[in-house]
């Protein structure tokens, strides 16, 4: 049909509108891979088939290698034992189990297949060149093995979920991101919005036990996929180049560090039990009137009735404060700013060029030599915006809507017009934010630094000489369950941290140079500074090492997370993008599949 400009005065307006729309940046389709519980139930009722007749494979992802099948099985007694061992019977995580059990939230979706995440398939030890890092994207051969073991065939639609409510936001999105990286399209890999919790709350019962459908191993290979999405992974080389060029600091790239707060509260030790301004080795936050404290068992005793409390109870429960308001209220889902705790806590404040403050230093849950942030990175909570998990997800664990999320991210200056790179502890939680930004918000230029802090924090060309810039012992708290982080860590000690000024390390608060009696060349890179990340970071504090310990025994070295034994090639002279090269070359000789 022809439109006459003379007879239709809307033609110029329509033409202008079309030209305007053509000039807009292209956005990914919002939520194209996100499937709701009601839709999945329809597919299950249709004998696990979509409306187009495709077979539906439900994969239930839980983290870890030992005992994690208890979530899939909904084994209440076993879960109690595991959480008591991990968090204690006093923790909210443990106490919430009975409520989850009564609400029918334990167990798996009928017909689901159990997948133990971090099992050396979708993530594994790999090297981009100068360091062998844990939790990198799985190789093509490993992903083939995973798909074949689950009986996946080329025409199947995969729905990824998790029976573990915390953290459903990390392991399922990580598997989704890995499959997307290797070439699966959003039409073939789906994420169940809200996981098993949302499914149960929608009125669909979960099953208990370890029964799974009989699986016929397939011959599925990645060679059947016509394309790859390798561009969504940022290598070690690229993140270093971006830092060195200043692009992470000048706004050319939005580097988002999604480790959850409250990260490291620095606690002063400037007074003793009598209240005089003299350190006694016990943090001031533990010096509470009407209570005595023993560092040996980390318990408080109330003088009046001799009742004992741990630090989490002291800070976050009314019972420890004579039924009154808790001493410290922290809600990561609340509007900014974070309400800082009482005068016991000394949280250092950093004012940047954009005026953002405060900037706490996260404590990573992964092994590392130091704490801090990658230079130029922005944390997910400031006094002007809040991007924590409760700001992204609803109470049933499902993502908020596209409109809601765009509004939340816009407050932090994220609107899709600037390239976004996400970093976290190990690339798991980062995949949740990748999914929110790329799939739900529809922003195309979103990528993830796969190595994240567990790679970055283990490449140091310097080491501490004494405890001047070493983190103190960590205390675990449970303030915000059932939010994403069921526990947080606080540590004591004088508020000292390092900054690299382009020439030398200086005290971040005073600007005075760090002396050779405090820090020296060495570290995992043995003084070779080419691959050093310490100078490419901000707000630095070392973790304890075997060599550095508090004479009073208050600081402790934990071989699981502090200065681990890592394989570094300090003399490596290639480019730090070996994983990308290996993956681009991956092709199987045969693309044979079983239908």
Residue of 49, 44, 59 whose CA lies nearest to 178:
59
**Mean of the pLDDT values across residues 142-171?**
91
Distance, in Å, from the CA atom of 244 to the CA atom of 341, rounded to the nearest integer, reads 36
318 within a domain of the structure (yes/no): no
| Window from 1-15, 109-123, 188-202 with minimum mean pLDDT | 1-15
pLDDT confidence band for 52 (50 / 70 / 90): very high
Is the predicted pLDDT of residue 550 greater than 60, yes or no? no
Question: Which of 428, 456, 484 is at the close of a domain?
Answer: 456
332 within a domain of the structure (yes/no): no
**181-225: pLDDT as tens digits:** 999 999 999 999 999 999 999 999 999 999 999 999 999 999 889
Element (H, E) at 387: none
Distant-in-sequence, close-in-space partners of 81: CB < 8 Å, separation ≥ 6: none
Q: How many domains does the chain have?
A: 2
**Mean of the pLDDT values across residues 54-67?**
86
Is the predicted pLDDT of residue 120 greater than 60, yes or no? yes
Distance, in Å, from the CA atom of 292 to the CA atom of 299, rounded to the nearest integer, reads 9
402 within a domain of the structure (yes/no): yes
Half-sphere exposure of 554 (CA within 13 A, CB side): 18
Output 38 or 346, whichever has higher pLDDT.
Answer: 38
308 within a domain of the structure (yes/no): no
| Window from 115-124, 378-387, 487-496 with minimum mean pLDDT | 487-496
**Mean of the pLDDT values across residues 285-312?**
85
Distances (CA, A) of 374 to 45, 112, 241, 500: 48, 39, 12, 12
Q: What is the pLDDT of residue 220?
A: 95
Rounded percentage of the chain residues whose pLDDT exceeds 90: 51
**Mean of the pLDDT values across residues 523-548?**
89
Distance, in Å, from the CA atom of 530 to the CA atom of 28, rounded to the nearest integer, reads 38
74 φ/ψ sector (left φ>0, alpha ψ -120 to 50, else beta):
left
Alpha helices, DSSP H, located in 427-474 = 429-435, 452-456
**Mean of the pLDDT values across residues 436-459?**
96
Output 592 or 390, whichever has higher pLDDT.
Answer: 390
Q: What is the pLDDT of residue 507?
A: 87
Q: What is the pLDDT of residue 590?
A: 37
> Are 184 and 252 members of one domain?
no
> Are 75 and 164 members of one domain?
yes
Residue of 281, 267, 236 whose CA lies nearest to 421:
236
CATH number at residue 397: 3.40.250.10
Distance, in Å, from the CA atom of 382 to the CA atom of 394, rounded to the nearest integer, reads 21
> Are 46 and 62 members of one domain?
yes
Give me the helix-helix angle, 76-87 and 92-102, nearest 10°. Answer: 160
> Are 191 and 242 members of one domain?
no
> Are 74 and 129 members of one domain?
yes
Q: What is the pLDDT of residue 518?
A: 94
> Are 157 and 247 members of one domain?
no
**Mean of the pLDDT values across residues 282-287?**
71
- Report helix, strand or coil for 161: strand
Question: Which of 185, 208, 228 is at the close of a domain?
Answer: 228
- Decide if 543 contacts 371 (C-beta within 8 A): yes
Q: What is the pLDDT of residue 261?
A: 61
> Are 205 and 239 members of one domain?
no
Q: Residue 339: exposed, middle, or buried by beta-carbon count in 10 A (0-12, 13-18, 19+)?
A: exposed
Q: What is the pLDDT of residue 402?
A: 97
Distant-in-sequence, close-in-space partners of 595: CB < 8 Å, separation ≥ 6: 153, 155
329 within a domain of the structure (yes/no): no
Q: What is the pLDDT of residue 511?
A: 87
- Decide if 494 contacts 345 (C-beta within 8 A): no
Residue of 390, 414, 400 whose CA lies nearest to 30:
400
Is the predicted pLDDT of residue 248 greater than 80, yes or no? yes
DSSP state of 16: H
> Are 259 and 150 members of one domain?
no
Distance, in Å, from the CA atom of 345 to the CA atom of 328, rounded to the nearest integer, reads 10
Is the predicted pLDDT of residue 577 greater than 90, yes or no? yes
**Positive or negative, the Cα torsion across 216, 222, 225, 229?**
positive
**Mean of the pLDDT values across residues 479-491?**
56
25-34, 107-116, 117-126, 477-486: range with highest mean pLDDT: 107-116
pLDDT confidence band for 95 (50 / 70 / 90): confident
> Are 218 and 240 members of one domain?
no
Distant-in-sequence, close-in-space partners of 104: CB < 8 Å, separation ≥ 6: 200, 205, 206
pLDDT confidence band for 251 (50 / 70 / 90): very high
Distant-in-sequence, close-in-space partners of 411: CB < 8 Å, separation ≥ 6: 384, 385, 386
Distance, in Å, from the CA atom of 457 to the CA atom of 372, rounded to the nearest integer, reads 9
Distant-in-sequence, close-in-space partners of 314: CB < 8 Å, separation ≥ 6: 288, 291, 300, 320, 327
Q: What is the pLDDT of residue 16?
A: 38
Q: What is the pLDDT of residue 110?
A: 98
Q: What is the pLDDT of residue 245?
A: 98
334 within a domain of the structure (yes/no): no
- Decide if 72 contacts 78 (C-beta within 8 A): no
Q: What is the pLDDT of residue 287?
A: 79
> Are 202 and 185 members of one domain?
yes
Distances (CA, A) of 254 to 70, 179, 446: 39, 25, 10
Is the predicted pLDDT of residue 29 greater than 60, yes or no? no
> Are 62 and 112 members of one domain?
yes
Q: What is the pLDDT of residue 355?
A: 41
Element (H, E) at 314: helix 311-316
Tokens representing 311? 């630090």
Measured at the alpha carbon of residue 316, what is the angle toward residues 426 and 428, in degrees to the nearest 5? 10
Residue of 287, 260, 253 whose CA lies nearest to 271:
287
Distance, in Å, from the CA atom of 124 to the CA atom of 134, rounded to the nearest integer, reads 6
Q: What is the pLDDT of residue 383?
A: 66
507 within a domain of the structure (yes/no): no
Distance, in Å, from the CA atom of 193 to the CA atom of 439, rounded to the nearest integer, reads 12
pLDDT confidence band for 281 (50 / 70 / 90): low
Distances (CA, A) of 203 to 38, 74, 322: 9, 17, 40
Average of per-residue pLDDT values in the chain: 81
Distance, in Å, from the CA atom of 275 to the CA atom of 573, rounded to the nearest integer, reads 56
Q: What is the pLDDT of residue 472?
A: 61
| Prediction pTM value | 0.84
Q: What is the pLDDT of residue 168?
A: 67
pLDDT confidence band for 495 (50 / 70 / 90): low
Distant-in-sequence, close-in-space partners of 460: CB < 8 Å, separation ≥ 6: 369, 370, 523, 524, 525, 532, 533, 534
Q: What is the pLDDT of residue 6?
A: 37
324 within a domain of the structure (yes/no): no
> Other CB atoms closer than 10 Å to residue 311's CB: what's the count?
21
- Decide if 94 contacts 80 (C-beta within 8 A): yes
- Decide if 447 contacts 232 (C-beta within 8 A): yes
Q: Give CA 481 to chain center in angstroms.
A: 16
> Are 248 and 211 members of one domain?
no
Residue of 260, 261, 268 whose CA lies nearest to 472:
268
Question: Which of 436, 456, 476 is at the close of a domain?
Answer: 456
Distance, in Å, from the CA atom of 77 to the CA atom of 113, rounded to the nearest integer, reads 22
Q: State which residues form the domain around 202.
A: 34-228
**Mean of the pLDDT values across residues 274-297?**
74
Measured at the alpha carbon of residue 172, what is the angle toward residues 259 and 222, in degrees to the nearest 5? 120
437 φ/ψ sector (left φ>0, alpha ψ -120 to 50, else beta):
alpha
């Amino acid at each position: 049909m022809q439109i006459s400009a003379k007879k239709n005065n809307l033609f110029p307006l329509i033409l202008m509108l079309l030209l305007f729309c053509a000039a807009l940046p292209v956005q990914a389709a919002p939520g194209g891979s996100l499937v709701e519980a009601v839709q999945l139930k329809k597919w299950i009722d249709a004998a696990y088939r979509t409306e187009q007749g495709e077979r539906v494979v439900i994969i239930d992802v839980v983290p870890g290698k030992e005992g994690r099948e208890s979530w899939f099985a909904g084994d209440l007694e076993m879960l109690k034992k595991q959480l008591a061992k991990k968090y204690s019977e006093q923790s909210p995580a443990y106490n919430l189990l009975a409520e989850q059990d009564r609400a029918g939230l334990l167990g798996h979706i009928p017909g689901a297949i159990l997948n133990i995440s971090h099992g050396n398939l979708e993530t594994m030890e790999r090297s981009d060149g100068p360091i062998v890092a844990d939790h990198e994207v799985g190789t093509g051969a490993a992903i083939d093995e995973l798909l074949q073991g689950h009986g996946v065939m080329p025409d199947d639609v995969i729905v990824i979920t998790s029976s573990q409510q915390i953290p459903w936001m990390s392991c399922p999105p990580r598997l989704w991101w890995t499959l997307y990286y290797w070439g699966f399209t959003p039409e073939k890999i789906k994420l169940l919005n809200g996981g098993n919790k949302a499914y149960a709350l929608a009125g669909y019962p979960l099953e208990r036990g370890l029964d799974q459908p009989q699986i016929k191993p397939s011959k599925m290979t990645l060679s059947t996929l016509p394309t790859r999405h390798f561009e969504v992974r940022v290598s070690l080389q690229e993140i270093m180049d971006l830092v060195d060029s200043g692009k992470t600091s000048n706004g050319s790239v939005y580097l988002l560090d999604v480790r959850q707060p409250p990260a490291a509260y620095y606690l002063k030790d400037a007074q003793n039990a009598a209240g005089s301004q003299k350190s006694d080795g016990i943090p001031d936050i533990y010096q509470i009137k009407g209570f005595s404290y023993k560092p040996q068992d980390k318990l408080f005793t109330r003088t009046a009735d001799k009742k004992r409390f741990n630090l989490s109870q002291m800070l976050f429960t009314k019972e420890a404060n004579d039924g009154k308001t808790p001493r410290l209220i922290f809600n990561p889902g609340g509007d900014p700013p974070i309400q800082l705790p009482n005068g016991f806590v000394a949280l250092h404040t950093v004012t940047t060029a954009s005026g953002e403050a405060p900037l706490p230093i996260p404590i990573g849950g992964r092994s590392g030599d130091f704490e801090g942030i990658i230079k130029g990175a922005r944390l997910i909570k400031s006094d002007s915006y809040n991007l924590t998990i409760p700001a992204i997800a609803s109470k049933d664990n499902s993502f908020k809507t596209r409109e809601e999320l765009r509004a939340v991210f816009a407050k932090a200056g994220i609107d899709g017009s600037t390239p976004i790179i996400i970093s976290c502890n190990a690339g798991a939680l980062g995949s949740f934010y990748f999914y929110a930004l790329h799939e739900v918000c529809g922003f195309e230029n979103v990528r993830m630094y796969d190595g994240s802090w567990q790679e970055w924090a283990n490449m140091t060309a310097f080491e501490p000489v004494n405890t001047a810039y070493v983190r103190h012992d960590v205390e675990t708290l449970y303030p915000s369950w059932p939010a994403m982080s069921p526990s947080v860590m606080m540590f004591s000690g004088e508020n000292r941290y390092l900054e690299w000024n382009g020439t030398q390390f200086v005290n971040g608060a005073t600007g005075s140079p760090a002396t050779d009696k405090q820090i020296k060349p060495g570290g995992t890179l043995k003084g070779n500074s080419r691959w050093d990340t310490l100078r490419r970071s901000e707000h630095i504090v070392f973790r304890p090492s075997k060599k550095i310990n508090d004479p009073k025994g208050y600081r402790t070295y934990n071989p699981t997370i502090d200065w681990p034994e890592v394989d570094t090639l300090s003399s490596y002279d290639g480019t730090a993008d070996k994983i990308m090269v290996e993956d681009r070359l991956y092709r199987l000789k045969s693309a044979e599949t079983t239908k």
